[in-house]
Amino acid sequence: MNPAVNTLDEMAKVIYRCQKCRLHRKRLHAVPGEGSPDARIMFIGEAPGAEEDRTGRPFMGPSGRFLDQLFTANKIRRSAVFLTSCVKCRPPGNRDPRSRELNICTTTWLLPQIDLIKPKIIVLCGRIAARLLLKYPVRIADVHGTLRRHNGQGYFITYHPAVGLRFPKAASFMRSDFKILAGLMAGI
């Protein structure tokens, strides 16, 4: 991390100008993330979508509205958590982020964000985030709703809210997962 970057706000200012990979070429806005710098819980998704690119804010489109419903149903305040994604710029055509893009954003931005926030639990929303941070292949269907430890960090695994919107069964699993997560949050 740049030694001049000591806060999430300072980091966000640098992320807005980042040109370390090709994703910056077509973005409207980089999406560094938002929420409490002292968050006990950090949510990590895959990448910004169209609405996130337009607004510069994470989880703002339809999947963000679904996530907000899950928050409300479980008395989780959006302002009390930190929301971000593996990559900070929208991949063209909403494709999955490529390995190089993930590697650059993870080492340059995501891991330093985690170091600054020091969350008790990181919620991995979907397979891209889960595979990236757990460092092994993950089938969300097999591990959702579970808390895993990796390198001393607690990771809670669930589906990405966009998957919950498309598949009713995944939405049902997410509702159950968030009840488990709310219980975990009460204990930390």
Task: Tell me the per-residue pLDDT of 124-168, one tens digit each, with 9 for 90 and over.
Answer: 999 999 999 999 888 999 999 999 999 999 999 999 999 999 999
Crossing angle of helices 62-73 and 168-186, rounded to 10°: 50
- pLDDT interval class at 90 (50, 70, 90): very high
Query: How do strand 82-85 and strand 34-35 relate by DSSP bridges?
Result: antiparallel
**3-state SS class at 158:** strand
